[in-house]
Structures are given as C-alpha cells and as structure tokens.
Structure 1
Amino acid sequence: MEFLRSHRVGEQIHKEISALLVRGLKDPRIGFVTITAVEVTPDLHLARVYYSVLGDDKSRAATQKGLESSIPYIRREIGKHLRMKYTPDLMFKFDTSLEYGNRIESLLRDIHEKSSDDQGDSEKD
C-alpha cells in the first residue's frame, strides 16, 4: 500500500516538474532538460528527481546548479498542485542510464561489425 502511494506521488511530481520545464523556468542555466524518473521514499519526505540534459559536461554542471537553485520554487509549485500535508524535499540527480545504454549499444555494434568482418574473411578463404 505504501509503495503504491509513493509511486503515485512520484508520477505526479514527474508530471508537475515536466510541466514547469515546458513552461520554462527563468534560470538561463537550465537548458534542454528531460525528467527521466522520480523516486519518492516510502515516508514521502524525499523525492529523487533523475534528469538528462543535452550538451557536454559544462552544460550538465550548469543545469545541475540551475535546478538546485530552483528547488524552493519547484517545491512551492508542487505544493500548490498536490494536496499533501508535506511536500517532499527534492534532490536532482543526473541520470547516467542513457549514457550507459549508449555505451552498451556501441559495444554491441562493434562486436557485430567484427563478427561480420570475420565471417567475410573466412568466406574468402
């Protein structure tokens, strides 16, 4: 029961933050950000918000700082839309799963290319 509630609250927080990003936060450091997941603790006091951003490490660091400085505003907006006794604290974390997936895809592509090259070489013999 508790897991279901934290999951539902996480989904609502995800929607609210995504909507805020679409409408645009006024911080120029926040670029093209996508909220990938929100995990809420069972006691509903902390929400880990995972995001990805287009760009290099410099833009990622700037986005992290921009998001962290926007936490009070984002919490206030979430509090207005979610009718809860306590609005969860927010913690923004960069989502590395996309990079990890791209790396695995690249490795698999390399293996596939090597195996087709090896098969082509053996057919010539």
Structure 2
Amino acid sequence: MKSERPYKRTDRVANEIQHILGQIQTKFIDLSDLGFITFSHVTISPDLKNAKVFFSVVQKKKSIVDIESEMNSKAKVFRKYLGQELQIKFTPTIKFFYDETISYNQKLDTIFNNLDKKN
C-alpha cells in the first residue's frame, strides 16, 4: 500500500528532531560559550537509529573543530532529552556536523560583491 503523505517518515522524524533539539538547546543546555548555534538540518538513517545533525554558528567564540568536538561530547545529553520528547520506539544516536553552507554562501556573496564593484 502506497503512502498518501507527501514525504517519507524519515523526513518527518528528521524535522521533528530538529525542532526538539532547538527546544532542548534553549531550555536545558547552555551553548552560549560556543557562540550562537542553530540546527540547520537533520538527516536520519532509514532504520531511524542514527541521526546526523548539521549546525551553523554565528559569533563563534571557539574554532569550528573545537565547537564540533564539544557538541559531540554533549550528544548523550541531547539524546537523553530527545528521548523524553520524541515519540518513536528508539531514540536515535546523534552525531553533530558543522554545516558549511552558510560560510560557503558568504564567500560567494563576497566574490559577487567584489565583481560588482569592479564593473
């Protein structure tokens, strides 16, 4: 039987995880010593047991490597709170990755702005 939903269950669960992680960050886990962190997107394995959480940082107070390392050291705490909110059988293991999309887009904007100034 084919699903009538416009997107897959993994997409729905990933969106829910992203939303819950944002709430956890504001209510329970202080990340202000790292900078202003936002969760840009989440991908989850088809068996819903592993989640890759991509984050971006504004006003970073440490290097990206240090921030990513510290985020991954707090993954178990995030998972604990996630398990209390997420309504699925297993709480996925979380791995944090720095999302380079924003910094890449900023570099492109700088290049295009420089080209506009030259012309």
Which of 41, 50, 57 is equivalent to 2:54? 50
Give the C-alpha shift of residue 44 in structure 1.
1.0
Q: How far, CA to CA, are the matches of 1:54 and 1:24 in structure 2?
A: 20
Distance 1:24 1:81 in 2: 13
Q: Within the alignment, does 1:95 sit opposite 2:89 as a pair?
A: no
What is the aligned-residue identity percentage? 25
Please give the alpha-carbon distance, in whole angstroms, between the structure 2 residues aligned to 1:85 and 1:74. Answer: 17
Matched, 1:81 2:58: no
Q: What CA distance in whole angstroms lies between the structure 1 residues aligned with 2:48 and 2:82?
A: 13
Instruction: Note the C-alpha offset of 1:60.
Output: 2.7
**Matched-pair contact (CA < 8 Å) for 2:35–2:57:** yes
Deviation at 1:68, TM superposition (A): 1.3
What letter is aligned with 1:94?
Y
In the TM superposition, what is the alpha-carbon distance from 1:39 to its structure 2 partner? 0.9
Letter aligned with residue 81 of structure 1: E
Number of the residue aligned with 1:119: none
Provide the aligned length of Structure 1 versus Structure 2.
114
Q: Deviations over 1:41-73 (max 9, x none)?
A: 222121110001124583433322321121111
Partner of 1:123: none
In structure 1, C-alpha distance between the alignment counterparts of 2:77 and 2:27, rounded to whole Å: 14
Name the residue aligned to 2:109: 105
1:4 is aligned to 2:8: yes
| Structure with more of its chain in helix, by fraction | 1
* Structure 2: runs of 5 or more not aligned: none
Question: Which is higher, the Rg of structure 1 or of structure 2?
Answer: 1
2:71 maps to a residue whose letter is: L
> Structure 2 CA distance, aligned partners of 1:49 and 1:100?
18
Report the Cα distance in structure 2 between the residues aligned to 1:97 and 1:50, rounded to whole angstroms: 10
In 1: Cα distance, 2:112 partner to 2:101 partner: 16
Distance in structure 1 (CA, Å) of the matches to 2:71 and 2:103? 20
Structure 2 CA distance, aligned partners of 1:68 and 1:38?
A: 14
Q: Quick one: structure 1 residues 28 and 106, their matched pair in 2 at CA, closer, same or farther if it must change by over 3 Å?
A: closer
